[in-house]
Amino acid sequence: MTVFDDAALDDPAALAGADPILRRLAGAGSRVRRETADADDPLDQLLGQPRPRAVIAAGSEARFIRAILEPVCPVPFVAWPRHGLPGWVGALDLVVVMASDVAPPSVVATVHEAVRRGALLLIACPAASVVADHAGGSSTILLPTATGDPLAAAVVALSALHRMDLGPAVVPDGVADTMDEVARDCSPMADVTENPAKDLALCLADAQPLVWGGSVLAARASRRVAEALRAATGRAALAADADELLPIIEATTSRDPFADPFTDGAAADRRPCLVLLDDGNNDPMIRADHGRLVAAAERADIRVSVVQHRRGSDVDRYAALLQTGMFASVYLSVGLGRAAA
């Protein structure tokens, strides 16, 4: 059994191995600012564009775009997870694609199909990339990206959609400031007693994470955080709705205070820890689910860790929850002596 080393979270030597990924997480705000500045000229082209019949998003962060746009978009919106496009897409529609310089063939196929059908194509990708080569056309608007950060590219795409009156206002500088704030709070230099990411890592040290986010955006963040936790630990980490998590919590037997963590290590590793991502959404159904989960965890003697960010726009709160979870996954890998994911 791998034993979690609490002291490693404040040990410069242990943290040095995770320095590259910690630096990249800390630079998330600056990447948002850079991508936004580089896209100023293309964004100006969007003013006065006619309203499309429908919007189809594909590629990286398409589901995040859907979570932001779907409640307010004045036209039908689809997040398309497959290659190509739905059969009804044509010249009256807008296709939004976010891709890196090594986009998978499915994204390239989607871009090629959008150009072939004459749809308006809004694409965030590096100007020198395979996907950009397939995006050439009179109906293509390229938002050039340079940092390889999918969330930064998504923020630029959301700014573009707002200029087309298809989505809510997004303030990239505000998102960047929020990311900078998380980077300060979760810095490796911040002591474990006042660092929310290190605190979460300690809660998950010997546990199976169960991650819940009540709102659409918090739920999306929960799935991204669970992916990072799986990579950090090699353990199962589940992100799901309250009704799906409750049977797991309720089936967990009470903790044995006399269990030996070394001889009973395998069982201890499988014990759940409930992680609640709270973005301040006060919808009565969400708060009711929150209460049901906490009550069930208390009955089963399951640890509960709350990651909370209630200030700012929807995108600000999503970014804060996601970044805190990402920092926690790195600290978890450090404490377990695993290479940072």
Domains of the chain: 6-18+188-335 (3.40.50.10490), 30-173 (3.40.50.10490)
pLDDT at res. 260: 62
pLDDT at res. 323: 97
Rounded distance, CA 131 to CA 110, Å? 10
Q: What is the mean pLDDT of residues 193-213?
A: 95
Query: 3-43: per-residue pLDDT in tens?
Result: 889 999 999 999 999 999 999 999 999 999 999 988 888 88
pLDDT at res. 338: 82
Write b or e for each residue in 77-87: b if 16 or more Cβ atoms lie within 10 A of its Cβ, otherwise e.
Answer: bbbbeeeebee
Q: What is the mean pLDDT of residues 60-80?
A: 91
Question: Which bin fits 118, alpha (ψ -120 to 50), beta or left (φ > 0)?
Answer: left
**Alpha-carbon torsion (12, 16, 18, 20), positive or negative:** positive
Residue type, 104: P
pLDDT mean across residues, the chain: 90
For residue 263, is pLDDT > 80? no
For residue 87, is pLDDT > 70? yes
Residue 13's contacts (CB-CB under 8 Å, 6 or more residues apart) are none
Q: Cβ of 291: how many Cβ atoms within 10 Å?
A: 11
Bridge partner list, 273:
209, 303
Residue percentage of the chain with pLDDT more than 70: 94
